[in-house]
A = this chain, B = another copy of it.
Amino acid sequence: MQQTENFKDDEVIDDLPLLDRVRQLVLSGSFSPGAPLSEVFLSQAFEVSRTPIRETLKQLQHEGLVDIRPKVGTFIREPTRREIVELFQIKESLEGLAAGLLARRGPVPELDVLEHNIEESDRATSAEDAVRYAELVHEFHRTIITGADNSKLVEHYDRLMNQLAYHRLVLRTAEHPGRIKASTSEHRVVLSMLRDKDSFGAEAAMRNHVHASAREVLTDARTAPVQLHT
């Protein structure tokens, strides 16, 4: 999972580097949604032949990031607003599950990591460092996911977030100060539940938090208001 660092730029361990690089290109926003990604272009861009590029594109299609129209071409896929709502619903469920599982694990080092994360978040907020804050939020959620000690959950979560990644990049530019305060406060509630080993409480708190943040993101994105559910 973290082998994106140690490879010699030429001799690749698996095809993961290429897959990651192409994915990064897609998610980087360098190309507008709907832009064509021809195999020949990518092959000379990454200096490989069309074959590995093709395999990579198939993977990305399976991840929902690109749209392969047979005999026509591959295009960057923009998730519809509806799909984003759907993905957030799943996100809420999975993160709730993770929080519940983590609560059951008792006193694990992850809790201290979360504690530290919250402190850092306060610091970033005081310093008005929005970038750092966004990083910390991401780490907070990811720590809970990985802390659930469920490898398959991590896989599904990663898939989910990949599909949301493009949109997140577009959206998370500015966040209201009020929301930041509320969000950190919700993090605190989650951690409190985790420390109490309150599985149901942790799940509920986490779901509530994700729900609120999703609502914020969705309403903030475009003017069209959205009902996440009810």
Contacts and interface: CB of A to CB of B under 8 A. Distances in A.
Interface stretch (A85-93, A128-136, A169-177, A216-224): A85-93
Contact of A90 (B14, B54, B156, B163): B156
A14 B230 CA distance: 38
A152 B90 CA distance: 8
A229 B90 contact: no
Interface stretch (A23-31, A34-42, A55-63, A178-186): A55-63
A76 interface: no
A90 B89 CA distance: 14
A160 interface: yes
A51 interface: yes
13 contacts: A14-B70, A55-B55, A55-B58, A62-B62, A83-B152, A86-B150, A89-B150, A93-B93, A93-B94, A93-B96, A152-B163, A156-B156, A156-B160
Given A55-B55, A156-B160, 15 more contacts: A14-B70, A62-B62, A64-B155, A86-B150, A86-B153, A87-B152, A89-B101, A89-B153, A90-B94, A90-B152, A92-B97, A93-B97, A104-B229, A156-B156, A159-B159
Interface of A: 13-14, 51, 54-55, 58-59, 62, 64, 70, 83, 86-87, 89-90, 92-94, 96-97, 101, 104, 150-153, 155-156, 159-160, 163, 229-230
